[in-house]
Amino acid sequence: MTRYLLRRLAFLVVSLVLASVVLFLLLRMLPGDPANALTSVGASPEQIAAARHSIGSDKPLPEQFTHWIGQLASGDLGTSFVSSLPVGPEVLARLNVTVPLTLAAFVLAVVIAVPAGFAAAYKRHTWYGALLSGISQLGIAVPVFWLGMILIAVFALNAGWLPAGGFPPDGWAQPAEAVRSLILPVVTIALVMSASLIRYVRSATLDVLDSDYLRTARALGSSFSGAMWRHGLRNASVPVISVLGMELASTLLGAVVVESVYALPGLGSFLATGISQHDYPVIQGVLFVSTLAVLVIGFAADLVQRIIDPRLRDRLSGGAR
C-alpha cells in the first residue's frame, strides 16, 4: 500500500507538471495577442510593444515558462494581464461560490441517483422501474442551461420563491442570501448529473442482481436485503465510484454554463472572461487549479476503489491504469 501511495503520488506530480507544460504551450500556440486586449483598437505599434513588455509576453517562451513555474512553486498564480490584480486571491474568492455549488449539487445528485438507480434496476419489470429509466434517458438529453432557464421561469419569475440569479456582493457574509441564490443552480446541476448517474447505478445494480455470489448468499438463507447489504453494496460501489470521481471533477470545471445562466461569480465564469480577453495568467491559473483538483479527485477515487476491491490492490502496477 505504501508503495502504491508513493507511485500514485509520483504519478500525480508528473501529471501536474506535464499538464502545466502542455497548458502553457497550448496557450502560446493559439493565435491572438493578449496585448490587443490591453490596448484600444487603433493603438500604435509602440503602444502594443509597451503593452507586451508590461505583461512580459515579449520575452522568449522558455523564460516566460520558468518565470511562471517559479511563481507557482512559491504559491503565486501570477497577475492578470487585464486587471493587474493577482490571480490567486481571485481564484480563491471564486472557489467560495464554485466549491459549495459543486459539492452540494454532487451530494444531492448522489442522494437522488443511488436509490433511483437501484429501483430502476430492481424494479425493472414494473412500470415505475421503466419510468425511472425513461426519466434518466430524458434527463441526459436535456441541456443544462435550458433546465436552468425553465427552473428560473417557474420558481423565480412565476412563483417568486427564489432569486433568478446573482450572488450577494459580500458573499457568505449574508449566509441566508447566499444559500438562497445557490438553491436553483444546485438543483439544476444535480438533476442533470443524477440523470446520467442513475444509468451507472442501475447498471452496477443489475450486475449485482445477476451475480452468482448474491445467489449463493441467498441460497444459504440470507434475506435479499441482508445479502444486498453485505455483498451488493460494496460490489456495486466499485464501478460507481470511478464515475462519481469523474462527475465531481467535471462539475467543478464545467459549472461555466450554469454560472452563466444564474450570473454567479464562480470559477467557470472567471475562466470564461479570461478566455475571451486572452488573459493568459487567468486561464493558466484557473486551469492549473482545476487540473490539480481533477488529479486529486481521481487519486481519491482510485484510493477508495483500492480499499474496497482487493483485486485492484493485488494488481502489480501501481500507476494510473
Partner 1 sequence: MTLLDIRDLTIRTADGRVLVDRLSLTVSPGERLGLIGESGSGKSLTTLAVLGLLPEGMTATGSVELAGTQIVEASEKQLNGVRGRDAAIVFQEPLTALDPLMRVGRQLAEPLRRRRGLRGTELKRAVTQALEQVRLPEPGRIARAFPHQISGGQRQRAALALALACEPKLLIADEPTTALDVSVQAEMLDLVDTLVREREMAVLFVSHDLAVVARITDRAVVMKDGRAVERGDVREIVRHPRQEYTKALVGSARRLESALDVRSAR
Partner 2 sequence: MTGVQKTGQAPEETGRTPGTSSATPAKSVESAKQGARRSYTLIAGCVLAGLIVLLAAVSFVWLPYAPDDTSGTRLAAPGAGHLLGTDKLGRDLFTQLMTGSRIAVEAGLGSVLTAALIGVSLGVLSAFALGWLDDTLAAFLDILIAFPTLLLAMLIVAARSATLGSAVLAIGLAQSAVVARLVRILVKRVLAQDYITAARTSGTSWPRVVAGHVLPNIWPTLVVNLALQFGLAVLAEASLSYLGLGAPPPNASWGRMLQEAQATFTTAPAGALAPGVLLVLLVIGVNLIADGLRDTLDPTARRRRA
Sole window of 47-55, 60-68, 137-145, 166-174 interacting with partner 2 (rule: CB under 8 A): 137-145
Instruction: Indicate the residue among 63 and 210 with the shorter CB distance to partner 1.
Output: 210
Instruction: Please identify which residue in 131, 140, 300, 312 interacts with partner 2, judged by CB under 8 A.
Output: 140
Instruction: Indicate the residue among 117 and 232 with the shorter CB distance to partner 1.
Output: 232
Report what 3 binds from partner 2, partner 1, none; CB cut-off 5-8 Å by kind: none
Binding mask 29-48 for partner 2 (x = CB under 8 A): -xxx----------------
Report what 289 binds from partner 1, partner 2, none; CB cut-off 5-8 Å by kind: none
Tell me which residues in 213-242 interact with partner 2 (CB under 8 A). 239
DSSP for residue 83: T
Instruction: Please identify which residue in 114, 187, 189, 244 interacts with partner 2, judged by CB under 8 A.
Output: 189
Report what 31 binds from partner 1, partner 2, none; CB cut-off 5-8 Å by kind: partner 2
Place of cell 504519478: 11
Instruction: Indicate the residue among 59 and 230 with the shorter CB distance to partner 1.
Output: 230
Q: Find the shortest distance in angstroms from Cβ 227 to partner 1.
A: 9
Best CA proximity match to 210, nearest among 235, 193, 188: 235
Best CA proximity match to 286, nearest among 260, 308, 256: 256
Chain centroid offset of residue 160 CA: 30
Report what 220 binds from partner 1, partner 2, none; CB cut-off 5-8 Å by kind: partner 1
Report what 110 binds from partner 2, partner 1, none; CB cut-off 5-8 Å by kind: none
Q: Find the shortest distance in angstroms from Cβ 112 to partner 1.
A: 25
d(CA 303, CA 297): 10
Task: Rule CB under 8 A: say whether 85 interacts with partner 2.
Answer: no
Report what 314 binds from partner 1, partner 2, none; CB cut-off 5-8 Å by kind: partner 1
Residues of this chain that interact with partner 1 (CB under 8 A) are 125, 209, 211-213, 215-224, 230-231, 234-235, 238, 308-311, 314
